[in-house]
Amino acid sequence: MELLTFKIICAIALFFAAIIAGVIPLLVGDRHPRALCLFEAFAAGVFLGAALFHMLPAAQLSLKAQNLASYPYAILFCVVGFLFLLLIERIVNSHADRMHAHRLTALLLLVMLSLHSLIEGAALGINSVFNNALVIFIAIMAHKSTAAFALGVTIVRGYSSHLKSILMLIGFSIMSPLGVVLAALVSGFLQSGTGTAAEAIFNAFAAGSFLYIGSLNVIDNHFHPKPLIDRFAELFALIVGIGSMGIVAIWV
């Protein structure tokens, strides 16, 4: 199989995998609140794991390669991302109801995940070795599926309209295939020092945002009165979510 044909197949597979994974929480919705709580706990684990196993370490390594390791810039931008989302939510909560706060969180998460998916797709698109491209595809497939699932859970909390939710998921799902297509056009920039530093800063900022979303979800669920069995079930789902990102880190 030619490498170009393989990349086209990968782009199509990534799109449908994200759609399917993202739609599952929408189908469950408020009709199964206990299942949705488990999904939220799993999603929180995905966010925490993605930040700690993938984004922050990748940012640190990239900045170190650019001789910017004299100061922990990755940690700095991670903290900025955390505080940025905290500030935005505090402002929104003081002027709007809880539903609007959930919608803002969903939109911010959509933007960050979409940009990250675009970068992941570009990493696949610019690769010229078939075996390496295959490994990258498997890693992106695992990461994008869990990210789409987590995004779907967040969207359910903010949007009651299935049409808007589906449109948001389609927008997210198309970003990795778009990254594959655009990679050839911007491959020079992505491989340059400026492009690498910009990607590292974004990863660090997004890691802080993911840490905020994941930790806030855990804290929010902790203060709701629930049976002990439900608490342990959610803790297990959280651990599975973190563990899934840890397993993906074996190949990334």
Name residues whose C-beta falls within 8 Å of residue 150's C-beta, 6 or more positions apart in sequence: 42, 43, 46, 47, 241
Q: What is the pLDDT of residue 15?
A: 92
How far CA 165 is from CA of 22, 99, 130, 238, in Å, comes to 9, 14, 35, 24
Residue with more model confidence, 51 or 34: 51
pLDDT band at 223 (very low <50, low <70, confident <90, very high): low
Q: What is the pLDDT of residue 134?
A: 73
Query: How far, in whole angstroms, is CA 1 from its chain's centroid?
Result: 31
Q: Is the pLDDT of residue 241 over 70?
A: yes
Question: What is the mean pLDDT of the segment spanning 117-123?
Answer: 75
Question: What is the mean pLDDT of the segment spanning 72-94?
Answer: 82
| Chain segment 181-210, per-residue pLDDT in tens | 777 566 555 556 666 777 788 778 878 887
pTM, full prediction:
0.66
Q: What is the pLDDT of residue 121?
A: 80
Tell me whether residue 54 is exposed, middle or buried, using C-beta atoms within 10 angstroms of its C-beta: 0 to 12, 13 to 18, 19 or more.
buried
Q: Which pair of structure tokens corresponds to residue 113?
A: 């995940």
SS3 at position 127: coil
Q: Following DSSP, what letter does each residue of 177-243 receive, concatenated?
A: HHHHHHHHHHHHHHTSHHHHHHHHHHHHHHHHHHHHHHHHHHHHHHTS---HHHHHHHHHHHHHHHH
Q: What is the pLDDT of residue 29?
A: 62
pLDDT band at 66 (very low <50, low <70, confident <90, very high): confident
